[in-house]
Structure 1
């Protein structure tokens, strides 16, 4: 039997797509998973077992859509019991709780998953994929980034990788330790070892970027930044800015040559008892033969993709989950569950549209400024998708021949590439931070900020706020910013609603 879809990997993304296909009920699909359970990544990672994806069961509202704004772990389904917030009250939950959740999600929805089935070879010929004896018209790879990323450092093979190093602090007693990598895994590791080591240096070529400033949640999170205190307060540890040039054995330890960025590339030899590599992961493309091998991007760490999450060189090969961060690398949230769950829903709609002649779901509206404004305001005050996938997903109001339709959660690039067809006039709504938001210190009270609910200067706001752009024939011809609001409510009649209605009316009159 040739399947409509073969999904590789039963992690959160693979299960999310399977749940959408199962609910739709008209496509033949199968998920192949190499482990004996779903979410095998979380059986080992993060190594110190605390997730940094927030979990907030108590929100003060029973609106499930609003609650997903502060629930970064639940997958999307119509079953209210399948919310991760029911599994633990911990704000930063344990990975083992997430394993339980994923197992229950797959079992309760009766998803078609074949476990203990590790994919060895994917081939493509005559419009059909062959995957270890299975055949499918389309393959969706949702394996995540499963191979260690190894920077080109001579002697790097001498380092212990994050995936394999001991997580027992006593194994590092009285040792000098170098941690390569300034991401969350590096800081998580350093924080765990501070009590038993004599010295920890944390090294990397890039500056430390704080997530609370950049709004990219893959940057350093406050929950992992205790180590910075020990550096800045001169408590033995340090952050080294620059390049590790080489790693060499030196008796029972290691000699590391380091080039300091802040000192005009001055090189210094430093000695350590252990070198730990927390340099992240990359996509494992070894399962593809030459007929189906996707092009790679971003230092070969991710598959290169179109705006439809399809391989740029292998038709019918799609990607889901953290692999899709190639589309918004270090800008939005496709690398994380709370972002890619909506990306997977968009992918499902793309697949239905492209391969099964099912138009993007749309709600008809009256062709009046008031109706369009009311629909936009209602959505932006509830949507979790645009909230989580800021700047990447958009709600689109199309206007054509007097007919007005409201389309939810369309990838902006997919719309721009004509994915929903030619649109003479469209109002495209996103939630976005200001263009220079990462340059503003939000805790510096000496820096002027736009006052909340300020009409007329909303375009200068740095914080998250709605932006409505007008597309005519695929070109952006006008845009309107709604004033930011402390409680993220954009429905004040004179501040938000009336200015938007006037903007919409002007654009409709300009047809």
Structure 2
């Protein structure tokens, strides 16, 4: 970012409106907002990469920058809480590249000059200078705090200290500083040192006490039992000298000794081999020194206003960590998860100030105020992370019929709100401010945040709540500057000037503020503040008030007029939207599914040598497989679909690509691999950009060529836009995604079940319709895509399809291809194209346009959220390969290979190989989501080595609430020998045919259940804990095990019922378990009925289940008729 040098004589000058100095997280975040707004900007970075500051730190906070690209979330780069530095550097450079941000690298800025006409000149050490209207400094805190004690030259700065722990072997080390950087360094090296001391000006402050993320966090406090504090608290009043032996020793302070420090230093002779200085970082004021920007806050940050503008030089703004002086030791403005929101606030302010674009606001009728506030309180991330600093502000019109909601406005600008946001606040306008706050006296270095009465404040005394909770302020007029910055606010620990009324909502353990004890006081507070009801009045209420007062209240008249003008489809649309939303069909659910798909794709591409990409509904996020009917049956049969690029050479097509299909087998989902060729022309990026949010570029550079199975010509290839479709589908809004799901339900459920069984329409037709709809409403995105218009959008889509079907003249053609309008999409079963009756489709679709009641009934009666949102278990869907070299693999791919290797090694494990086995176990434990698997493998290994007692001890430590589903499929050449396991446990390890070989299926959770039941006493088995662990996502093997060991008839009955539902579920297909069930069921009805009933009677007397067959366990109930 910065450097000191002079300008060359022949330097060119580049003129832009915004110059952002520094390509760290804050600079890139602001650049993203500038790019999306199509502003003239450039980011100037001194280094050759983005985020160069992070190349020498050990760790960083696990947080992502804001963007419209779901793949640009740090969770896709690492699943651990505090990944290594390389992860953030890679993430920031990908962020810059994927979003196409304009960054000039290798351009150190030497100084900033003020020019005429409110311009600035940035002088660099390179061949180009910059002329800017606005300068935004986003250089972070690059300089270590300068030492101010004698002998500082003998210390090593945090930025220069070795990260190789072996360099400190046997050394005496002193670390000056007691923050995260000091503790992080100490934790990294203390195992190698002879001894290690830490010293600082003040006692250690822990984040769990101060609620400030900049204080020492739990991840860095492992050293608490080994370091010395009090003996060296006054160290900075002493100095450091170097002896002839080369060691560094403390000097007693000059003048009056304090607390016997001089005596202690003389007597104990504190001497060290290495002294590390980790006293924090400060901003670099040299670049703005010519402009007299020298004022500082706490000698660390530049002094700025709450609009993030320099207090000394108007026109220079600051972003990122440099703005943390405004919320120092309060909110998270010095860290990525905080300043990504303050960067957005700065951009919104600049948009209003320089371009006349008001602060984004939502204007709605007053009756929607409660819904809007409840949504923001529960879902707003900026106000939650930047508590007490960013607020949501509601402006209620003076006639109290509507309101405007402004999101994430800096709280301390409330007195100049119209100037900051561009929204006028007229006389009579009510102002409601919402922000999150901690309890008044609950934070502090010595505060006991774990005392017995720390939680559980009463609904009537919300102001006594300690933890983070919503606070609402009601002002009848805006406060003035004097009130805003009155010293009494800080003295009394108040966040805002005294309002007309205040409401503290109760804290909640799950931060879910939708409970009655939150909604009831919220409604009462708002209705009292505004003097009118905020829920639609019923006819009965209005009639009662009219009879009592002689005339109807104004809000009753408004409600009646509003309802009379309302489109009758609007209420049904809202109800439909809410139902789908509760079923998980929204942008959050889609993003979650996309993250799971990305994890599968990343692991599969590591395990497969070919270039492979995930496509289809699973990768796009809007899958019917996420929905069930009330009986638990899936509404979708989506398989996992891959694109496999067949060759690199685009010029020779010697062999036709093929599609490989693998049906589901037990726990392994069905998969489809389409071999395709790359084809980078035409990619039709212009058509893709029509559907993407503004400022987001098309990242899918190539189309693909695949075999055309629709035309009936086996040697014909077609251009496919599946990669472009994937990018677009991942960026749909909730309403757009719900429209797509409704079209799928019409095409895949409603029409096939209608008379005539119309099955000609597919997902590709639904996507094409959706794309044409988005393109057609591109100029009215905000007004067209609302929940009130969901049904009208559906009718418009179906009407469009009817028009296409009517206009087509070629049998089998359906509608234009969105990406290539001259080409057409064909109906399914085109081999019979000449016999397709378009009349059926058109009649059914016309009925749907006029009456959507059948669709509404279908959604209400048959669509609900799955108990588990898992569409697949990751390790049952990966390519089945067997590799013993793990060095090149990471993440889930590494976990899969390690588990496979260890599982195969257990049957032949010997005592002399135990050390190597445990080393692999430790490596496995270092990976996320591996604790249950590693525990099971260790128990099995101990049984293999005849160490049953330690195996039992390990089983007793199993905490079932932390045991997650752990299902794996491995290739199997030779059947492994698990004779050392109990008989029933062995039956849970299944080998089934798959493709040209065999597949080994293992569920580690069911193995843990069986081993615990077989090896421990009855008193140590907690069946209810098993049942609770299985509730969200049960597997057939787990249900078999639970039923096998249960002595509860009701529990056996429930397990049997659930097994039958799983076997009948459409998206499971015919696996081995279902075949066993079918054979046993037929046997019962083909002559063995009496034998089975007799056995059932015996089971009823002994209260034990009956086992039938050598395969999976079949539970036969005494009340057989209930199940068959």
- What TM-score results when the alignment is normalised by the length of structure 1? 0.89
1:174 deviates by 1.9
Paired position in structure 2 for 1:68: none
Greater strand fraction, Structure 1 or Structure 2: 1
> Aligned to 1:441, which of 439, 442, 448?
448
> Aligned to 1:249, which of 239, 242, 246?
242
Distance in 2 of aligned mates of 1:357 and 1:373: 30
Q: Deviations over 1:264-305 (max 9, x none)?
A: 363325221111100111101111242x23233234311100
Aligned residue pair count = 476
> Aligned to 2:198, which of 191, 199, 202?
202
1:212 aligns with 2:221: no
1:336 aligns with 2:335: yes
Paired position in structure 1 for 2:259: 264
Paired position in structure 2 for 1:62: none
> Aligned to 2:515, which of 478, 488, 492?
492
Distance in 2 of aligned mates of 1:28 and 1:130: 16
> Aligned to 1:87, which of 59, 77, 81?
77
- Kindly report which structure 2 residues correspond to 1:344-493, keeping only aligned pairs within 5 A, or say none: 344-368=343-367, 371-402=368-399, 403-418=402-417, 419-420=420-421, 423=425, 424-439=429-444, 440-445=447-452, 448-451=453-456, 454-475=458-479, 476-493=499-516
1:15 aligns with 2:28: yes
Paired position in structure 1 for 2:314: 315
Paired position in structure 2 for 1:502: 524
Distance in 2 of aligned mates of 1:450 and 1:184: 28
1:28 aligns with 2:40: yes
1:34 deviates by 0.5
User: Are 1:242 and 1:258, in contact at CA under 8 Å, matched by a contact in 2?
Assistant: no
Distance in 2 of aligned mates of 1:258 and 1:341: 46
Q: Deviations over 1:135-172 (max 9, x none)?
A: 00000000000011023212212210000112222222
1:258 deviates by 6.1
1:240 aligns with 2:240: no
1:4 deviates by 1.4
Distance in 1 of aligned mates of 2:433 and 2:81: 34
1:450 deviates by 4.3
Helix, strand or coil: the match of 1:340? helix
1:120 aligns with 2:132: no
Helix, strand or coil: the match of 2:349? helix
Runs of at least 5 residues in structure 2 that lack an aligned partner in the other structure: 1-13, 124-128, 480-498, 533-1124
Distance in 1 of aligned mates of 2:350 and 2:336: 20
User: Are 1:295 and 1:312, in contact at CA under 8 Å, matched by a contact in 2?
Assistant: no
Over 3 Å counting, the alpha-carbon distance change for 1:239 and 1:431 in structure 2 is farther
User: Are 1:76 and 1:341, in contact at CA under 8 Å, matched by a contact in 2?
Assistant: yes
1:367 deviates by 2.7
Distance in 2 of aligned mates of 1:104 and 1:258: 52
Helix, strand or coil: the match of 1:457? helix
Helix, strand or coil: the match of 1:406? strand
Helix, strand or coil: the match of 1:130? strand
- Kindly report which structure 2 residues correspond to 1:180-191, keeping only aligned pairs within 5 A, or say none: 180-191=176-187
1:365 deviates by 2.2
- Kindly report which structure 2 residues correspond to 1:133-212, keeping only aligned pairs within 5 A, or say none: 133-212=129-208
1:176 deviates by 1.5
Distance in 1 of aligned mates of 2:69 and 2:455: 41
Distance in 1 of aligned mates of 2:507 and 2:451: 18
Paired position in structure 2 for 1:42: 54
Paired position in structure 1 for 2:901: none
Helix, strand or coil: the match of 1:363? strand
Helix, strand or coil: the match of 1:391? coil
Distance in 2 of aligned mates of 1:502 and 1:265: 61
1:94 deviates by 1.1
Greater helix fraction, Structure 1 or Structure 2: 2
User: Are 1:324 and 1:335, in contact at CA under 8 Å, matched by a contact in 2?
Assistant: yes
Helix, strand or coil: the match of 1:120? strand
User: Are 2:306 and 2:412, in contact at CA under 8 Å, matched by a contact in 1?
Assistant: yes
Is 422-431 or 330-339 further displaced after alignment?
A: 422-431
Distance in 2 of aligned mates of 1:207 and 1:474: 41
Q: Deviations over 1:209-238 (max 9, x none)?
A: 111121111100111111112248xxxx98
1:88 deviates by 1.1
RCO higher in structure (CA 8 A, sep ≥6): 1
Q: Deviations over 1:25-53 (max 9, x none)?
A: 1x100000001010001111x2xx233x2
> Aligned to 2:66, which of 76, 87, 95?
76
1:129 aligns with 2:120: yes
1:249 deviates by 1.4
Runs of at least 5 residues in structure 1 that lack an aligned partner in the other structure: 55-72
Over 3 Å counting, the alpha-carbon distance change for 1:247 and 1:416 in structure 2 is farther
Over 3 Å counting, the alpha-carbon distance change for 1:379 and 1:96 in structure 2 is same
User: Are 2:197 and 2:227, in contact at CA under 8 Å, matched by a contact in 1?
Assistant: no
Paired position in structure 1 for 2:659: none
Distance in 2 of aligned mates of 1:297 and 1:153: 21
Distance in 1 of aligned mates of 2:231 and 2:204: 9
Paired position in structure 2 for 1:230: 226
Over 3 Å counting, the alpha-carbon distance change for 1:258 and 1:169 in structure 2 is farther
Distance in 1 of aligned mates of 2:329 and 2:416: 22
Helix, strand or coil: the match of 1:364? strand
Over 3 Å counting, the alpha-carbon distance change for 1:226 and 1:107 in structure 2 is same
Structure of larger gyration radius: 2
Q: Deviations over 1:74-103 (max 9, x none)?
A: 110111111111011112111101111111
Helix, strand or coil: the match of 1:404? strand
Distance in 1 of aligned mates of 2:121 and 2:310: 17
Distance in 1 of aligned mates of 2:393 and 2:251: 54
User: Are 1:123 and 1:289, in contact at CA under 8 Å, matched by a contact in 2?
Assistant: no
1:239 deviates by 7.0
- What TM-score results when the alignment is normalised by the length of structure 2? 0.41
Paired position in structure 2 for 1:67: none
1:346 deviates by 0.4
User: Are 2:393 and 2:433, in contact at CA under 8 Å, matched by a contact in 1?
Assistant: yes
User: Are 1:450 and 1:457, in contact at CA under 8 Å, matched by a contact in 2?
Assistant: no
Helix, strand or coil: the match of 2:101? coil
